[in-house]
Structure 1
């Protein structure tokens, strides 16, 4: 039976793009690698396990680690290898070896060093003669050893030696965000906060959502009294770790220090306050005249919208501890409602040192938090 000419033509197109993909991969042109992979998939190779792995490798080279890992998690299952297909090659490697080769690099980038060694060893078992595989296996083993050595030295409080160990790992794997972050911790312990920030920045350049690196940078900026930078980092961390009390307290102290550096009055500010209930006009005026920003929730306890948003106000109180949060039931305190001209609930008003800055009527959660965040600096 003669093969279908159109199928043969599609196969030739796919092979052409895969061949080009190999050429541009060899010279490290990862943008062209992605383009050729997409072209091969569009031409009909939409279930090729190796092309999916090639895309993951390209994402990794662009420091898009989450995208690379996502491909690993969602990649189609490969067909069992027959005797003939098990000898098929992809970029000069046996196909199965290439899959483990890419997986080892991704595991290493994510800081899963033991998994990386296992994957590299499997790649070597599948294709022991391939030079790329042999080099990767050697590097992965040496980087993993450097990391273990660095960790042991760090635990023994030998921070200078730990820096050298992590540095040796970075010499072999200069795009490893985990090693940069670990070395940043050493610099911090040694009081070299500028260098800690430099390594944290390197880690965040490679992995922008790396929480530990953000913590290191925020703490180092605090030590250097760069309060604005510290507050920005702690604000991001507060969103990522909403239940972390240490982050909340660090944010509060950085915010207080920032206010002091700007010459603002910061007396009577304390961490971990609660939403204060205000019941009379005199108490209300005294409360909003406290130093800093006050957010007042005008409510009616029985109102359904007030019931819905009230727990979120409690959350914001914990999330923005430098702000005074107050609530006034306008049925219980009509004099306050009249003085502030509040007729609709829930209404929120934001004050600073007794002066009203903003009024929001029936806001969404996002709108309310956006306003609170804006005035928290």
Structure 2
């Protein structure tokens, strides 16, 4: 690409920042000021004062009133383009061709002869940015008489339409190419340049393409279609790689897609391309705050403030994040996990929602507070962020690098949830990142010892050496006394050794650390059954039925525990049954006997001629198989109208649920979701 082409591409991006989207995708005040219509690359200050010398340097520019004639009296179009008067005044040092429009010499500052007029002429253009209007020859001479000018018009003619086809006549190319403009980088962001500059006309195809690509990209962005917007912003960056505005726009789309590392790179590149751009500094500061980069946020907010682009609310957010993060780190040092969690959450809510350091503190605090599921979900969201961002953090915890600290937290959470191999790998990664840290070395050693003890215990258990296996698990608990997996595994050993009380104790400890530990709950329920503690056994199996509704073994165990409990209470269990098909009821007496038996009965009133009954019938059969501890009954109202009359059933399908002879629920034409929810509710609550 030639130098002139690069100039055209830079100039075509002149007013893009008016359409640069903001960092917050959900903000309602996004401004796309200039991108609704084509934007001319001739955007400049409203009043321009220039001076240029001719090739001989003997004549000066016209008086300032000349500039006013073109820059003010002539006016500017809405997009910033120059407007030519229909009857321009005669200027000294310039020649007319007949009565045609004024013809400027093509001389440029510093040029010798340029595209100017006669050799003896020393006149120069009164405005550097003025575009020619009329038939111009490279030498400035007119070979034939110019046509008479058109009659005066009430509205000025706009030179150029934003497509690069400037002027109203045939322009002969023969003069020197204009020198590369020294354009202030802020002009690429929609601001006027700090000093006058000569803006070369942009190539029609490049300028038009860039404007159109950016317009389409912004439309997609406003609709929340960030992937489509990014695709077009990528094209804009290719067309104008040195534009800070293009980089900033693309960063906004990347933020909307959650690709914060890529957005950070584009924001930094925008600042590098245009260090005097306050908006670019402000955008970068906002992104750094989200990532928890306190020092970097402060530095760029100060730069934005110097350029009058600082937002006081951003300073307030920074102060809040910094204060809460500091208190969270201090609380971690002394083991005050509740305070550490509270302060980390406050810092995240204040604006650092993607800070990996704060998410790691939060995950560790939840782990220590025995909220393993929350700790694991927080860790999962942390790992979705780009790991490259961690290397940019300068924060340390107890002398531990932030990147290695995240690995240590990951190792501890993995180990608590039984992912021992992953825990060892994460701890080794932390040691590789920060080899000299003593705390990391100690944690890595403990993780390896616990993983080794668990592996040995598993091998011994498989070999039916249950006593030795329990010793191996106990050895692992010396290094990690809050590991629920080791407690649950040791409880299994006690069960094989028929030491039920010790099995219950270890299950209790595992459930204290991890309340939703299903395997520990199963082992405790079976241990209660061996100890004939039926009330406790039924309670555990009811919880398991809620968590595992499709597990027939759990359903059967619950049924037997309920039978045993009723037996110890002296209640009649002769009519209780488990499993089977839906029983057809043909008489009122049969119905009363069935619903009067202990347990829960579901009575389905149906008609073979009813379409809704036909549709829901397979679901009733499925529920009967899924909840075998319930007694499912079916009444065909067409064949047994007396039963329907006795139960006051007039609409089908109707479902009635009875518990120990008393009606507890009635549903007329229920949805499958409501029916299933109700059946499940009474299945797990029956005792």
TM-score w.r.t. length of structure 1? 0.88
Q: 2:252 aligns to what?
A: none
Which residue, 53, 71, 75 being the options, matches 2:360?
53
Single out whichever of 319-328 and 37-46 deviates more from structure 2. Answer: 37-46
Which residue, 337, 354, 370 being the options, matches 1:63?
370
Aligned residue for 1:325, secondary structure, equals strand
Aligned residue for 2:475, secondary structure, equals helix
Q: 2:417 aligns to what?
A: 110
Q: How many angstroms apart in 2 are the aligned matches of 1:206 and 1:82?
A: 30
Q: 1:101 aligns to what?
A: 408
Residue 651 of structure 2 is aligned to residue 344 of structure 1: yes
- Contact 1:56–1:102 at 8 Å: present in 2 too? yes
1:1-377 matches, cutoff 5 A: 3-4=303-304, 11=318, 14-75=321-382, 76-78=384-386, 80=388, 85=392, 89-267=396-574, 269-281=576-588, 283-285=590-592, 287-288=594-595, 292-307=599-614, 309-351=616-658, 355-358=661-664, 360-362=666-668, 364-365=674-675, 366-374=677-685, 376-377=686-687
Residue 54 of structure 1 and its aligned partner are, at CA, apart by 1.3
Q: How many angstroms apart in 1 are the aligned matches of 2:575 and 2:602?
A: 16
- Contact 2:605–2:636 at 8 Å: present in 1 too? yes
Residue 117 of structure 1 and its aligned partner are, at CA, apart by 0.4
Q: How many angstroms apart in 2 are the aligned matches of 1:65 and 1:144?
A: 18
- Contact 1:181–1:213 at 8 Å: present in 2 too? yes
Aligned residue for 2:344, secondary structure, equals helix
Check 1:161–1:123 CA distance in 2 against 1; reply closer, same or farther (3 A cut).
same
Check 1:267–1:98 CA distance in 2 against 1; reply closer, same or farther (3 A cut).
same
Aligned residue for 2:666, secondary structure, equals strand
Check 1:300–1:155 CA distance in 2 against 1; reply closer, same or farther (3 A cut).
same
- Contact 2:577–2:631 at 8 Å: present in 1 too? no
Aligned residue for 2:580, secondary structure, equals coil
Check 1:312–1:264 CA distance in 2 against 1; reply closer, same or farther (3 A cut).
farther
Residue 223 of structure 1 and its aligned partner are, at CA, apart by 0.6
Check 1:71–1:294 CA distance in 2 against 1; reply closer, same or farther (3 A cut).
closer
- Contact 1:238–1:319 at 8 Å: present in 2 too? no
Single out whichever of 283-292 and 162-171 deviates more from structure 2. Answer: 283-292
- Contact 2:546–2:684 at 8 Å: present in 1 too? no
Aligned residue for 1:3, secondary structure, equals helix
Aligned residue for 2:303, secondary structure, equals coil
Q: How many angstroms apart in 1 are the aligned matches of 2:516 and 2:608?
A: 40
Residue 219 of structure 1 and its aligned partner are, at CA, apart by 0.3
For residues 72-97 of structure 1, the C-alpha deviation after alignment (integer angstroms, 9 at most, x for no partner) is: 222252362698x3776344212211
Residue 56 of structure 1 and its aligned partner are, at CA, apart by 1.1
Q: How many angstroms apart in 1 are the aligned matches of 2:390 and 2:358?
A: 19
Residue 216 of structure 1 and its aligned partner are, at CA, apart by 0.3
For residues 108-143 of structure 1, the C-alpha deviation after alignment (integer angstroms, 9 at most, x for no partner) is: 111000000000000011111112111110100000
Q: How many angstroms apart in 2 are the aligned matches of 1:82 and 1:110?
A: 25
Structure 1, unaligned stretches of length 5 or more? Answer: none
Alignment size in residue pairs: 374
- Contact 2:543–2:684 at 8 Å: present in 1 too? no
Q: How many angstroms apart in 2 are the aligned matches of 1:149 and 1:127?
A: 30
- Contact 1:255–1:322 at 8 Å: present in 2 too? no
